[in-house]
């Protein structure tokens, strides 16, 4: 979902730190292993060995693991959908309370800290954090899926399962009401809830790193309740869970991205669809990411990322200007209004006979966002020094949420407009991975814009893999940002291999199952982190 290649350390003078928390990296025993690896041995060895074993076992038994993943996914959805939904609401509530409370005056980096970036630069980086494979994949497909189910039909996303939307006011066959509900449901999944998840972890990382002088790793957030034990096995387990959560979240995104890129290549050039094409794409793109790691091409990848962001904005502007411009602009504000109106019903679907929506969509999304939270949270934390807590939360929640909402309104709104006003049903009939290209096919310059879309997916894929390996390496190295290159090579390689294993071992169900199963324990970590965050903020002076 994100493009976090700008993982540069904040500039400026050293931060004043709370001496009660001043432990630092020396308390995490570092181990220089074979090939000059500088590793936090227990975290690296356990997480690395488990991932290696998972990849090889999945590849070895790929013909029989598919049903296992499907059963696991069904069991997780059936038993824990309420837990994911309740947790998502708690994260939003915690953010609101922090904004309204006196703790909102606490400044990241200390009372005298100054922001490292201007508002414009900071907003641009928050905007970058909201763009990526996820919006490319779901920007058209999700609004259209919700539109179909709200009409009383079926959605290819749900395997034909019905979803009871009637309590939110869309009678079967009412296209306009279905469009309103479809867009508000899509925006619900891409706005306040996911960014509240990211904000909680990012705020914790920033506070305990900048204000308390602790390493930039997830275990540091739990120092208020674990004390020195955070450097022992309790801390090891927290960081290992963060590694599993992050790498499976990345693998899910890479799997979705490869599926969409393959669908686009098939539509444009007739390249055969299937797992083989997806595997070749994953191998090729992972190879490019490895080259950037080995050759030290971070600046080159950063530049490529900036070009990619420019292409994304151009594609967005093309859809807005060439598509139904007035409907998109007015629809955006209408979609926000409908999102606010339906917020209560959308956030509590377990109160209705609506298991398809709560399990097939919301539970998966919340688990996916949670699995991405160490990745996105570390990026946001590194660019937010000098901001007050109130400023941080308001901007981290609102800026990316509005960007995501506008993207959904432009792409999803255009596809629904084509269906209602032009009778164009190709998007509704297509699979999730092909819907973006079918929407573009009904507009001028379809081959050019579709090719740009494929390039966007691939480059988001490359930059996510490259920067994702950096984040995982930072966690396994105890918060060190300059760990040896071979470690990043290891993680970048196994991100790709993990995505391949899941693609071959069950496809979308396998990707979703592992994102949800690793997101589940990390949800508990984040819930406890809300309390430790409060404890850390309560001990801070307020600017």
- Per-residue pLDDT tens digits for 417-472: 999 999 998 998 898 889 999 999 999 999 999 999 998 888 887 877 777 788 88
Where does residue 139 fall: left (phi above 0), alpha (psi -120 to 50 degrees), or beta otherwise?
A: alpha
**Residue 140 domain-assigned (yes or no):** yes
**Residue 9 domain-assigned (yes or no):** no
| Whole-number pLDDT of residue 345 | 82
Q: What's the chain's average pLDDT?
A: 83
Is pLDDT of 300 > 50? yes
Rounded average pLDDT over 47-70: 87
Neighbouring CB atoms inside 10 A of 276's CB total 12
**Residue 10 domain-assigned (yes or no):** no
Share of the chain above pLDDT 70, in %: 83
**Residue 11 domain-assigned (yes or no):** no
Rounded average pLDDT over 198-213: 94
Tell if the pTM clears 0.75, that is, is over it. Answer: yes
**Residue 14 domain-assigned (yes or no):** no
| CATH code of residue 276 | 1.20.1740.10
Distance CA 312, CA 449 (A): 10
> Is the model more confident about 5 or about 97?
97
Show the CA angle centred on residue 512, arms to residues 509 and 516, nearest 5°.
135
Is pLDDT of 303 > 80? no
Rounded average pLDDT over 511-537: 91
Distance CA 254, CA 274 (A): 15
Residue 472: domain span: 19-538
> Is the model more confident about 528 or about 176?
528
Instruction: Give the list of residues 6+ apart from residue 456 with CB closer than 8 angstroms, or none.
Output: 136, 308, 311, 312, 315
In this structure, are residues 166 and 339 in contact, taking their beta carbons and an 8 Å threshold?
A: no
Is pLDDT of 541 > 90? no
| Whole-number pLDDT of residue 11 | 40
**Residue 5 domain-assigned (yes or no):** no
> Is the model more confident about 504 or about 169?
504
| Whole-number pLDDT of residue 488 | 82
Q: Domain total for the chain?
A: 1
In this structure, are residues 205 and 193 in contact, taking their beta carbons and an 8 Å threshold?
A: no
**Residue 36 domain-assigned (yes or no):** yes
């Amino acid at each position: 979902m994100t493009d976090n290649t700008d993982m540069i350390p904040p500039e400026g003078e050293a931060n004043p730190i709370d001496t009660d928390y001043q432990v630092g990296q020396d308390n995490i025993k570092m181990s220089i292993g074979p090939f000059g690896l500088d590793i936090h041995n227990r975290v690296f060895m356990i997480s690395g060995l488990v991932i290696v074993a998972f990849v090889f076992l999945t590849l070895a038994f790929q013909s029989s693991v598919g049903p296992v993943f499907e059963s696991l996914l069904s069991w997780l959805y059936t038993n824990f959908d309420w837990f994911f939904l309740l947790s998502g609401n708690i994260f939003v509530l915690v953010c609101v309370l922090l904004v309204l409370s006196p703790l909102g005056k606490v400044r990241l980096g200390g009372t005298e800290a100054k922001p490292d970036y201007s508002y414009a630069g900071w907003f641009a980086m928050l905007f970058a954090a909201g763009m990526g494979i996820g919006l490319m994949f779901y920007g058209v497909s999700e609004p259209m899926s919700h539109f179909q189910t709200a009409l009383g039909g079926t959605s290819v996303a749900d395997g034909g399962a019905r979803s009871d939307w009637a309590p939110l006011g869309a009678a079967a066959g009412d296209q306009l009401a279905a469009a309103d509900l479809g867009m508000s449901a899509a925006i619900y999944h891409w706005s306040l809830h996911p960014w509240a998840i990211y904000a909680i972890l990012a705020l914790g990382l920033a506070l305990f790193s900048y204000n308390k002088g602790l390493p930039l790793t997830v275990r540091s957030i739990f120092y208020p309740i674990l004390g020195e034990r955070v450097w022992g096995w309790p801390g090891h387990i927290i960081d290992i869970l963060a590694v599993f959560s992050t790498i499976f979240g990345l693998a899910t995104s890479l799997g979705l991205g490869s599926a969409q890129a393959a669908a686009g290549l098939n539509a444009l050039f007739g390249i055969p669809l299937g797992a083989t094409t997806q595997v070749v794409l994953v191998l090729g793109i992972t190879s490019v990411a490895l080259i950037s790691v080995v050759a030290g091409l971070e600046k080159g990848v950063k530049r490529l990322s900036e070009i990619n962001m420019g292409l994304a904005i151009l594609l967005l502007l093309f859809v807005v200007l060439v598509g139904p411009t007035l409907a998109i602009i007015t629809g955006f504000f209408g979609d926000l209004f409908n999102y606010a109106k339906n917020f209560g019903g959308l956030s509590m679907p377990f109160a209705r006979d609506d298991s398809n929506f709560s399990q097939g969509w919301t539970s998966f999304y919340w688990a996916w966002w949670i699995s991405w939270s160490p990745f996105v949270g570390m990026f946001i934390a590194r660019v937010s020094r000098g901001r007050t807590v109130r400023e941080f939360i308001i901007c981290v929640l609102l800026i990316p949420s509005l960007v995501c909402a506008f993207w959904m309104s432009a792409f999803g709104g255009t596809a629904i407009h084509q269906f209602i006003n032009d009778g164009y049903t190709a998007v509704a009939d297509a699979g999730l991975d092909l819907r973006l290209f079918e929407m573009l096919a009904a507009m001028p310059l379809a081959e050019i814009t579709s090719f740009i879309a494929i390039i966007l997916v691939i480059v988001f894929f490359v930059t996510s893999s490259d920067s994702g390996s950096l984040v995982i390496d930072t966690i396994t190295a105890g918060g060190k940002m300059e760990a040896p290159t071979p470690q990043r090579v290891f993680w970048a390689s196994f991100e790709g291999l993990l995505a391949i294993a899941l693609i071959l071992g069950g496809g979308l169900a396998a990707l979703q199952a592992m994102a949800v199963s690793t997101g589940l324990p990390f949800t508990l970590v984040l819930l406890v982190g809300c309390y430790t965050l409060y404890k850390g903020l309560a001990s801070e002076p307020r600017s």
